[in-house]
Amino acid sequence: MLSLTTMTPALQTLHAVFGYNDFRGNQAAIVEHIINGGDALVLMPTGGGKSLCYQIPALVRRGVGIVVSPLIALMQNQVDALLQAGVKAAFLNSSLTGQAASQVEQQLLRGELDLLYVAPERLMTPRFLQLLERAELALFAIDEAHCVSQWGHDFRAEYLQLSVLHERFPAVPRIALTATADTPTRHEIVERLGLSEAQQFVSSFDRPNIRYRIVQKASTRQQLQAFLEAEHRGDAGIIYCLSRKRVEETAAWLAERGWDALPYHAGLDNDTRQKNQQRFLREEGVIMVATVAFGMGIDKPNVRFVAHLDLPKSMEGYYQETGRAGRDGLPSNAWMAYGLGDVITLRQMVDSGEANEQRKRLERQKLDALLGLCESTLCRRQVLLNYFGEQYSAVCGNCDNCLEPVQTWDGTVAAQMGLSCVYRTGQRFGVGHLTDVLLGKSTDQVQRFGHDKLSTFGIGKEFSQTQWSGIFRQLVAAGMLAVDMEGHGGLRLTDESRPLLRGEQKIALRKDPVSLGKKPKASQSALSSKAAYRFDSPESEALWHALKAKRTELAREQGVPPYVIFHDSTLREMVERRPQRLAQLAAIPGIGKQKLEHYGEEFLEVLVDFA
């Protein structure tokens, strides 16, 4: 049991400032531990409430909480939201003028701040460390702690220096937080940040409100358009592409078809990137088409979908990127289209990189794990959570494999045909040429190499070209074929293929609804985020839009994103409860004391009009 004396101030702060009556999951234990001066490593999914784990202790303890954050966007978003809640917060980064930065430093020294967000580069300067020695410090919070791992997916060299905080300020508690860290990365965080004595709090990585769906690429743009039109008209979302060119082409293609889509990648000038990001944060229904340069630190809670048009580089990247959907807890979608070409491209990128062989081997393993998720016939959530060391034995009922159980077929003979063709053509050709041989097509290349004389020429005519593409893709995923990166992406046999070729082993392959000409049932596949905004009457829906309009009006007046006024989940509670007095409005989650004072009357006016 948590002691009353310890937790009463924390609970009072949670209710008065943030408008919530209870902590969720491990939050209460983490908050108590930090308030009492302990160090902690916190692993919690995106949208799970990590920020409160250091914000509440910083408000309860004496002094200022120093938050190490890697991105300017994250600092700005967090500070905007905290100021709305009445918290004395500020940030120090390169976006401030010298005069503005000096003013923040003076606030720090005068004890006028509850929370100060700082980039690691600034934090580690001798001048700033000396400044901290003159201030009263409540805690250090190291956000996005996986950035310390050189084997992780988002390494930042400056994070390696953060162990100095423990050396120079041994009495100040530290809390390191991340949403994406497998077991080796966790060990590295502990070692590099000097957290061997820290208590570890590992929450479930599950995001039950997110629906995972993975499809094989057929006509990617048309697949994307069908997904958006069926489930996300008017919703905010993020679409990830691997290349800058694909980002710009996809954004332009969507814009031509009436979608409010914007591009974002590192090749755009800074002004354009900032303008597009601000539109995404501050307007409703904007779709951002981006490389992975966009996303970390984006705190927009009502992103209703994340779509991948190309395969990410790792399971960690996929988990982190999909976790940007549905941070408010309302139903959201993670949709991805992928093909064997993605695997070849990513493996070429790994093998042609400048990393040492140990690092390349790790990156190949991470890519293989993600490919395994794509090809699995099991519950997507089981595979995803098991990767992070979390046993999830039940089926989730909220992924494509659960909702539309995958049919399999005995692909032993077809696989033997494909593997034999790879062997007899010299283990150096890609899927296109191999399929031509199997289908008996006498192309110029087939004739030039004499492959029309092989025993495998024409033996696979019972399958279509699309089906052969799926067969080869699954053989790569099963580890029976490898992509030869020293050549031009040709396929070669692995040792794992021998038992199958010798007839000692069978293989079950999944039936691909796209490649077999079957369409998924719309009633099952369209578990859309529309559930987040479904109401029981036209009047309720009209009230919802009126409340959103009021929120947008207030946000524009102050130059902040609408969600820092109130989250969608808070507006939805207003629609369902229909409060008519301030006391009733105060009982709704997400409405703290300051927000009630600032916005209560204006939202009550809308609610009373509809009563």
Out of 281-295, 351-365, 574-588, give the one with best mean pLDDT.
574-588
Let me know if 444 is exposed, middle or buried by CB neighbors in 10 A (0-12, 13-18, 19+): exposed
What's the pLDDT score for residue 488? 61
Q: Which of 164, 181, 202 represents a domain boundary (last residue)?
A: 202
Residue 578 to residue 47: CA distance in whole angstroms:
26
CATH code for position 218: 3.40.50.300
Whether residues 256 and 390 share a domain: the answer is yes
Same domain membership, residue 362 and residue 241: yes
- Residue 439 is part of which domain span? 408-510
Q: Among residues 340, 373, 403, which one ends one of the domains?
A: 403
Domain boundary among 153, 171, 202: 202
> Do 145 and 233 share a domain, yes or no?
no
Mean pLDDT of 318-331: 91
189 lies in the same domain as 327: no
pLDDT digits (tens, 9 = 90+) for 583-593: 999 999 999 99
pLDDT band at 366 (very low <50, low <70, confident <90, very high): confident
Higher model confidence: residue 512 or residue 397? 397
* pLDDT tier at 493, thresholds 50, 70, 90: very high
- In this structure, are 369 and 453 located in the same domain? no
- pLDDT of 550 above 50: yes
Are residue 194 and residue 239 in the same domain, yes or no?
no
**Do both 176 and 313 map to the same domain?**
no
Q: How far is CA 414 from the centre of its chain?
A: 37
> pLDDT tens across 263-272, in order?
999 899 989 9
Paired tokens of 310: 């190309």
Which residue from 440, 418, 442 is spatially nearest to 430, judged by alpha carbons?
Answer: 418
Q: Is residue 589 part of a domain?
A: yes
pLDDT band at 8 (very low <50, low <70, confident <90, very high): confident
pLDDT of residue 525: 41
Q: How far apart are CA 433 and CA 436, in angstroms?
A: 5
pTM of the model: 0.80
Considering the domain architecture, whether residues 228 and 362 belong to the same structural domain is answered as yes
Question: Is 515 within the bounds of a domain?
Answer: no
Are residues 257 and 371 located together in one domain of the fold? yes
Same-domain check for residues 103 and 24: yes
How far apart are alpha carbons 394 and 547 in whole angstroms?
39
**Size of the chain, expressed as the number of residues it contains:** 611
Residues 352 and 430 in one domain: no
Q: Specify the number of domains making up the chain.
A: 4
Q: Identify the residue with better confidence: 357 or 452.
A: 452
pLDDT of residue 516: 34
Question: pLDDT for 218-262, tens place per residue?
Answer: 899 999 999 999 999 999 999 999 899 999 999 999 999 999 999
Report d(CA 103, CA 211) in Å as an integer: 46
Residue 500 lies inside a defined structural domain of this protein: yes
Average pLDDT score over residue span 100-111? 95
Query: Residue-wise over 219-251: b if at least 16 C-beta within 10 A, else e?
Result: ebeebbeebbeebbeebbbbbbbbebebbbebb
DSSP 69-87: -S-HHHHHHHHHHHHHTT-
Could you count the other beta carbons within 10 Å of the beta carbon of residue 450?
A: 10
Quick one: pLDDT at residue 523? Answer: 37
The residue among 408 and 451 whose pLDDT is bigger is 451
Angle, vertex CA 306, rays to CA 304 and CA 307, nearest 5: 135
The answer to whether residue 552 sits within a structural domain is yes
Give dist(CA 308, CA 213) in Å, integer.
Answer: 10
Q: Is 521 among the domain residues?
A: no
Using DSSP's 3-state secondary structure scheme, residue 523 falls into: helix
Residue 516 lies in a domain: no
**pLDDT tier at 443 (50, 70, 90 boundaries)?**
very high
User: Does 306 lie in the same domain as 222?
Assistant: yes
No. of helices (H) and no. of strands (E), the chain: 27, 17
Tell me the pLDDT tens digit for each residue of 133-153: 999 999 999 998 888 876 555
Predicted confidence (pLDDT) at residue 491 exceeds the cutoff of 60: yes
**pLDDT for position 513:** 59
520 occurs within a structural domain? no
Determine, yes or no, domain membership for 290. Answer: yes
* CATH code of the domain in which 500 resides: 1.10.10.10
Q: Which residues contact 191 (CB under 8 A, 6 or more apart)?
A: none
